[in-house]
Amino acid sequence: MVAMTTRSCPCGLTEAYEVCCGRFHSGAAVAPTAERLMRSRYSAFVRQDGAYLLRTWHPRTRPARLDLDPGMRWTGLEILDTADGSAFHATGTVTFRASYRGGSLHERSRFERVDGAWVYVDGEFLD
């Protein structure tokens, strides 16, 4: 069995999970851009980390609870477009396609900064 430290992160970047999204999931760091937050949230879906998903959801739109499907198998993430969302912005959008066994999800997600940290606000499904 291959150790987790030698595998690239589920978000699609080449870094190992621990130094990529893992540091955001553990709370050791915060995502510096809206795109990195979106990638880390995708990785959280892959890893069934509902606590991280709720923690990085805007308080205004966050659901009371999140029921993740343990049978869902995410298979890849493709970032299609980003607008704003850098260290110099208060808002940003990321358009992506997340693939899963049996289909894909195409969404434009909106992000805002709350107390200096990027959070997910909401998303619009695209075709």
- For residue 95, give both structure tokens: 């358009």
Burial state string for 55-89 with b = 16 or more CB within 10 A and e = fewer than 16: ebbbeeebeeeeeeeeeeebeebeeeebeebeeee
Q: Residue 37 and residue 85: Cα distance in Å, rounded?
A: 10
Tell me, what's the pLDDT at 6? Answer: 59
What is the C-alpha to C-alpha distance for residues 53 and 41, in angstroms, rounded to an integer? 6
pLDDT of residue 127: 83
Total length of the chain: 127
Q: What is the pTM of this model?
A: 0.93
DSSP code of 57?
B
Residues 27-69 pLDDT 10s: 999 999 999 999 999 999 999 999 999 999 999 999 999 999 9
